[in-house]
Amino acid sequence: MKDVLETTPQNAPVNTGVRDTGPLAEALSDVLADTYRLMFKTHAYHWNVEGPLFFSIHNLTEEQYEDLFAAADELAERIRALGHLAPLTMADILERSVIKDAEGTPDARTMVEDLAKDHERIAHRMHALIEMTEGRKDAVTEDMATARSAFHEKAAWMLRAIAKD
């Protein structure tokens, strides 16, 4: 008898009515990678921000990285529900993501502006994912991408508002 811990995860067909799940799972993996990278970057800025707006930025980034952490799990579970494997390595996350690390140690304004731009990048990718669901009968992914886009657009707005002179 095979050891129960020797079961290897693998892609599996699903019969839920969603069509052409491969490209959807790939796009979801991309936004999962972005979400995970932005979660870490937001958390790192949360730890290291200083200055007169410390309390405001510290609290806002805490709310945002907590949301991003929960979203990463939801995105990965959606990939699995579509019958595909979620990214398994940090190398895969880094390769897929459009989110990049800051160079050097940014000041508070640069941190806030950097995060706002990253949220905008992810919102763009979410909009593309929404378009991709058309014709594939995947209202679940469409709804998820719509909700995530709304989060990223609001986060970008709040961060841009803090960075104004």
Distance CA 147, CA 106 (A): 30
- What average pLDDT does the segment 84-95 reach? 97
User: In which domain, by residue range, is 142 found?
Assistant: 19-95+106-163
Evaluate whether residue 133 is within a structural domain.
yes
Evaluate whether residue 126 is within a structural domain.
yes
Give the chain's radius of gyration (CA, Å): 18
As a whole number, the mean pLDDT across the chain is 95
Our count of domains for the chain comes to 1
Distance CA 19, CA 15 (A): 9
Higher confidence at residue 165 or residue 134?
134
Evaluate whether residue 10 is within a structural domain.
no
Evaluate whether residue 100 is within a structural domain.
no
Evaluate whether residue 28 is within a structural domain.
yes
By the 8 A CB rule, do 116 and 163 touch? yes
Distance CA 33, CA 27 (A): 10
By the 8 A CB rule, do 129 and 27 touch? yes
Evaluate whether residue 7 is within a structural domain.
no
Evaluate whether residue 82 is within a structural domain.
yes
- pTM comes to 0.93
**1-10, 125-134, 143-152: which has the minimum mean pLDDT?**
1-10
Question: What are 33-82's pLDDT values in tens digits?
Answer: 999 999 999 999 999 999 999 999 999 999 999 999 999 999 999 999 99
By the 8 A CB rule, do 60 and 137 touch? no
Instruction: Tell me which residue has tokens 């992914």.
Output: 141
Helical H runs in 4-138?
21-48, 54-81, 90-96, 108-133
Q: What's 25's domain CATH number?
A: 1.20.1260.10
pLDDT of residue 1: 60
Long-range CB pairs of 58-61 (<8 Å, 24+ gap) are 60/158, 60/159, 60/162, 61/115
Evaluate whether residue 8 is within a structural domain.
no
